[in-house]
Chain A
């Protein structure tokens, strides 16, 4: 059991949170991180959905990795991802209808999320299932983390609420404060993301070019 959480495995799951973050360092999955971060709730659901899908598809592909014909490996990966995404989307429609309406096409677009294909091709195709599972979780969390941070600022400054609850007291509005309408527009997600990347690189020396 010791080997399950060896130093290497720990690196596999912790790495994507900071040093190897799929969004801020590898700059993958930008499109969905712009689209679903106007509010905190859809961002959290999206982060969870992607985490679940990356982890499970990583495991499945890892189990299949020695049988997959090389020439159609991308197709096989796509079919596995597409199946999982469809199932998750059906579950959302059945059990979290309001959220699925908000996420609309973006659940389906998880299929084309570069993070997924990247992890399958780069990691799951050449690693054992357990490591692949950790890698999927790590990358999913790394993705979700950034989504939640961006959504936190966008919902707070754009709508004055968090998870739908108003957190900015009415007295602040009375003294002249207004919600920043720009925050709910996609461009502000890009700007917040850029600020996160800036702060991240300033803090983590390994990411800086000489």
Chain B
């Protein structure tokens, strides 16, 4: 057979593409469930990290069950829209909504040793790509209990240090509101510098833009929760 003829080439290519399409569809379909589970489990892990929990060798799903009592959905007016389903919301898509009043915001209510904590998801931009995280506040909705930050592609050793314990351990016990009870978030400043009228932590040397990104992320995400935080 002449494998160089036009007809042969076209038929060959078409048949190959159809076979490949079936193979890919089969694998994608049969593995989808497991992949979704992994994504959810990873999200639960990240939420738990903001509670300063050590997840080494522990089952994150069980811990999540144990600590997280409610997955609230609140709106920008601070009203609780629903008491479950907050986990399935994606803060990125909610923040992208132009109409602020239509945003539905997840809040995770949890119970640690009898004390209520609130966890808020964060989303913002670093230097090279998105950064995100979770911030846990005490019952007063003001004092930070713990934070967790992650990133898609910040520079290792510089911006990527926002994931380090050294950086994140500065946040607990800082306040996100000022003395007149206005939401001012937490500033991230050059080591040695200070910030007027709000709590601050040291930024990362060589990771200035990422540090600034974290500051903006905290501010811009938390501002959506203003009413809820003041209730």
Option from B20, B38, B156, B157 in Cβ contact (under 8 Å) with A93: B38
Whether B12 contacts A94 by the Cβ 8 Å rule is: no
Given A83-B20, A94-B31, A184-B157, CB of A72 within 8 Å of CB of B4: no
Is there contact, CB below 8 Å, between A185 and B157? yes
Q: Choose the segment among B22-30, B176-184, B191-199 that binds chain A (4+ C-beta atoms closer than 8 Å).
A: B22-30
0 or 1 for each of B120-147: is its CB under 8 Å from A? (1 = yes) = 0000000000000000000000000000
User: Is B53 interfacial (CB-CB < 8 Å)?
Assistant: no
**Contact (Cβ within 8 A) B24 A83:** yes
Contact flag A90-B16 (CB < 8 Å), given A38-B156, A69-B9, A185-B157: no
Number of A-B residue pairs with CB-CB distance less than 8 Å in the complex they form: 63
Structural contact, B35 and A90, CB atoms closer than 8 A = yes
User: Least Cβ distance of B5 to chain A in Å?
Assistant: 8
Q: Do B3 and A90 touch across chains, with their CB atoms under 8 A apart?
A: no
A181–B16 alpha-carbon span in the complex (Å) = 48
What's the least CB distance linking A99 to chain B, in Å? 11
Nearest CB on A from B184, distance (A)? 33
Interface size on B, residues (CB 8 A): 25
- B79 within 8 Å of A (CB atoms): no
A76 interface residue (CB < 8 Å to B)? yes
Q: How far apart sit A182 and B157, CA to CA, in the bound complex (Å)?
A: 8
Interfacial chain B residues near A90, Cβ < 8 Å: 27-28, 31, 35
A69 touches B8 (CB 8 A): yes
What chain A residues lie within 8 Å of B13 (beta carbons)?
72, 75-76
CA distance A83 to B8 in the complex (A): 22
Residue interface bits B34-59, CB-to-A below 8 A is 1, else 0: 11001101100000000000000000
A87-B23, A94-B31, A97-B38 known; A79+B17 contact, CB < 8 A: yes
List residues of chain A with CB within 8 A of the CB of B41. 97
Q: Give 9 CB contacts A-B under 8 Å.
A: A66-B3, A69-B9, A75-B13, A83-B20, A87-B27, A91-B27, A94-B34, A94-B35, A97-B38
Q: Please name the 3 residue pairs, one residue from A and one from B, whose CB atoms are nearest each other, closest first.
A: A97-B38, A94-B34, A69-B9
Known: A72-B12, A79-B17, A93-B38. 14 other contacts (CB 8 A): A67-B3, A69-B12, A70-B4, A71-B4, A72-B13, A75-B13, A76-B13, A86-B24, A86-B27, A90-B27, A97-B35, A97-B38, A97-B41, A101-B42
